[in-house]
């Protein structure tokens, strides 16, 4: 419902990376908690029950792998997702990481957009237990990994904002998303754009997938409905 209710615990010993990631996550409206080693990660996680924990692997005091193992063995944290930060070719770490129950990896060097889309994809698991990849609604199929939309087999490539917006609306067909919902989840809390911007994007999406799919609920927002 609201991005700001999603808690992300960010753990890295390098202040620069921490600050960089924190900035990007907050820009999207997430509630960010910070830790600088595995021990802190475990402590904060137990108190705060974050939705997602982003763990660097190489850290002093307690490394990410060990922290992950502990977190995975803490029943109250069984709903937290864990993703590792890892330098590019650390294959051994990757194997060890999945072994202790990580849900995903983000490779350094980190590109903010890639990271955000990975994180969003991960967080969607929290809500929709249903079809994760290749979600089908009506004659549409949405592939979040490939950033593609199929309409009766025809392949459409929507620009990023349009895709994110359509993706949001289709994530819960029938549900009305208010303009605030849309702004905070597609644009992020910090970014301020005019109200007409949403309309224009809706218009462009309708142009591509057909007019009927997205319904206007005047005074409230939009919904995707078959």
Partner DNA sequence: AGCTATCGTTAATAATTTGGTAACATTGAA
Partner DNA sequence: TTCAATGTTACCAAATTATTAACGATAGCT
Q: Does residue 201 belong to the site contacting DNA (CB under 7 A)?
A: yes
Least Å distance, CB 29 to a second copy, is: 10
**Angle of helix 15-27 versus helix 112-127 axis, rounded to 10:** 60
Q: Does residue 1 belong to the site contacting a second copy (CB under 8 A)?
A: yes
Q: Does residue 155 belong to the site contacting DNA (CB under 7 A)?
A: no
Kindly list the distances between the CA atom of residue 139 and the CA atoms of 51, 155, 163, in Å, as whole numbers in the listed order.
33, 12, 16
- Decide which of a second copy, DNA, none touches 216; Cβ closer than 5 to 8 Å per partner kind: DNA
Residue 103 to residue 161: CA distance in whole angstroms: 26
Please identify which residue in 180, 199, 207, 212 interacts with a second copy, judged by CB under 8 A: 180
**Interface with a second copy: number of residues (CB under 8 A):** 45
HEC string of 96-161?
HHHHCCCCEEEECCCCHHHHHHHHHHHHHHHHCCCCCCCEEECCEEEECCCCEEEECCEEECCCHH
Residue 173 to residue 102: CA distance in whole angstroms: 30
φ/ψ region of 101 (left if φ > 0, alpha if ψ in -120 to 50, else beta) reads: left
Which stretch in 41-49, 82-90, 127-135, 201-209 sits in contact with DNA by CB under 7 A? 201-209
Q: Which is nearer to DNA, 61 or 226 (CB)?
A: 226
Q: Does residue 117 belong to the site contacting a second copy (CB under 8 A)?
A: yes
C-alpha closest to that of 37 among 21, 15, 22: 15
- Decide which of a second copy, DNA, none touches 139; Cβ closer than 5 to 8 Å per partner kind: none
Give contact residues for DNA (rule: CB under 7 A): 157, 159-162, 179, 187, 191-197, 199-203, 206, 216-221
Give contact residues for a second copy (rule: CB under 8 A): 1-2, 4-5, 26, 31-34, 44, 47-48, 88-89, 91, 94-95, 98-99, 104-105, 107, 113-114, 117-118, 121, 145-147, 157, 159-160, 174-176, 178, 180, 184, 189, 217-220, 223
């Amino acid at each position: 419902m609201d991005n700001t209710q999603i808690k992300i615990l960010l753990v890295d010993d390098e202040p620069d990376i921490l600050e960089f990631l924190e900035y990007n996550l907050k820009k999207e409206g997430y509630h960010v908690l910070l830790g600088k080693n595995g021990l802190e990660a475990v402590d904060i996680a137990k108190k705060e029950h974050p939705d997602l924990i982003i763990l660097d692997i190489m850290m002093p005091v307690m490394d990410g792998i060990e922290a992950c193992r502990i977190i995975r063995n803490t029943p109250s944290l069984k709903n937290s997702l864990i993703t590792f930060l890892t330098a590019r070719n650390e294959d051994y770490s990757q194997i060890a990481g999945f072994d202790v129950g990580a849900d995903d990896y983000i490779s350094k060097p980190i590109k903010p957009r890639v990271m955000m889309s990975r994180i969003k994809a991960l967080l969607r698991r929290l809500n929709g237990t249903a079809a994760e990849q290749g979600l089908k609604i009506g004659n549409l199929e949405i592939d979040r990994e490939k950033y593609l939309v199929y309409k009766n087999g025809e392949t459409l490539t929507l620009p990023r904002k349009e895709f994110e917006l359509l993706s949001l609306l289709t994530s819960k067909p029938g549900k009305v998303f208010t303009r605030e919902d849309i702004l905070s989840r597609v644009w992020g809390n910090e970014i301020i754009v005019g109200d007409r911007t949403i309309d224009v994007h809706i218009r462009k999406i309708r142009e591509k997938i057909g007019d009927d799919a997205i319904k206007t609920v005047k005074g409230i927002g939009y919904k995707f409905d078959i």
